[in-house]
Each structure stands twice: as C-alpha cells, then as structure tokens.
Amino acid sequence: MIKLKKITSKDMCYMDIQPEKIQELLDKIAIQDCLYLYCKGIDNADEAALRASYWPDATDCHGAYTGSATGFITYAMQALPHFEVSIHQITNILIDYHVDFAHVESKFSAVQRSPNANGEMQEVMLWGRYADYFEKRDGEWRVSKRTVIYDWVSEQSTMRIDKAKHFGSRTPIGGQWPDDPIYHVF
C-alpha cells in the first residue's frame, strides 16, 4: 500500500514553482473557457458570446460554410432562431501550447432539432473535432482559425414537440438568448 504524505506549508517553500508553468495553466484554462463560451453562444443563439469566441479577423471552415468567422456568425444567427434544440458538448481538449498561440484539438458532440429544407422537423446528431488555432492578443485568448472535422452524423425525421408538455414539471426549460433561464439566474 502506498502512503501519501500530507504537504505542509514548510514543504511548499521547497517546491519549485515556475511562474511560466503557472501562466501556461492559466492560459490553458482561458482557452477551455473560450471553447465553452462558443458552445453557449451557438446553443443559446447568443451573438455576443459567439463574437467573443473569435478574433474579428478569424476564419472558419465549418461544413457548409467556409469564410470569415464574422460571416459564419451571421450565417449561424440566421439559422439558430429556427432551432427547437441545440446542444453542443466539448471533450478531450488537447492543447499544444506556446506562449502566444496554441493548436487546439477538441472533440464535440451536438444534437440539433430544426426544420429541414422541406419544413419537416429533423433531429441531427453530430460528432467531430474542432481543429483550432488560438491566438493570445493583449492577454486574451480567442479562435483565430477553425476547421471542423466531422467524424459521424446521424439524421432522422422527428415530430415537433410542445416543450412544456414534454418536460412536464421539469422547469425551468432551456431556450435561446435572451429568454434562456441562465440569463436571469445570475
């Protein structure tokens, strides 16, 4: 059996704490927060959150859309209000860190319910990866270049739902900006 020694404040005096390693950890957390902010923006149709995720001169290769990130945000904001549900989750974030830039690979899964081109409700489940080039400018990390790599997609027809009936007593029910409860809870 391994015995763990409790670290005391005296022990801390002898630890080699390198400021650059602490800064690297802080920067990696800032990169992760930016990824999470993007998900919040896309799921809640929160344009401000999306814009805060990308640098104004960023590019995005995002499936049907390739171009500027500002163009992608405009493209997304036209479609998102028609979504009944949009849920993105980020996992397995790998960060190849450098002081002022980073290559970041993160896995995503997404569920989206919206009308298709024929107006029929469809549910799309996506799995893939974001291949991001992040830059740190004036102490802030944002996406400078994104390429979405799709690993799997599942599409199926579904029926529209009445969320209040579907969730029953499970409230509050999520939605989009500015009505989503998260904007009123905090």
pLDDT digit string, tens, across residues 30-87? 999 999 999 999 999 999 999 999 999 999 999 999 999 999 999 999 999 999 999 9
**How many residues can be counted in the chain?**
186
Question: In terms of Cα–Cα distance, which of 145, 133, 163, 149 is closest to 58?
Answer: 145
Max mean pLDDT range (5-19, 112-126, 161-175): 112-126
Residue 10 binned pLDDT confidence (cut-offs 50, 70, 90): low
What pLDDT is attached to residue 164? 84
What pLDDT is attached to residue 159? 86
Distances (CA, A) of 123 to 9, 158, 159: 55, 6, 9
CATH code linked to domain 17-180: 3.10.450.50
Encoded amino acid at 127, one letter: W
pTM of the complete model: 0.87
Residue 123 binned pLDDT confidence (cut-offs 50, 70, 90): very high
Question: In terms of Cα–Cα distance, which of 114, 112, 142, 117 is closest to 128?
Answer: 112
pLDDT greater than 90 at residue 163 = no
Q: Look up residue 40 and give its DSSP letter.
A: H
What pLDDT is attached to residue 73? 98
The structural domains of the chain, with segments of one domain joined by +, span: 17-180
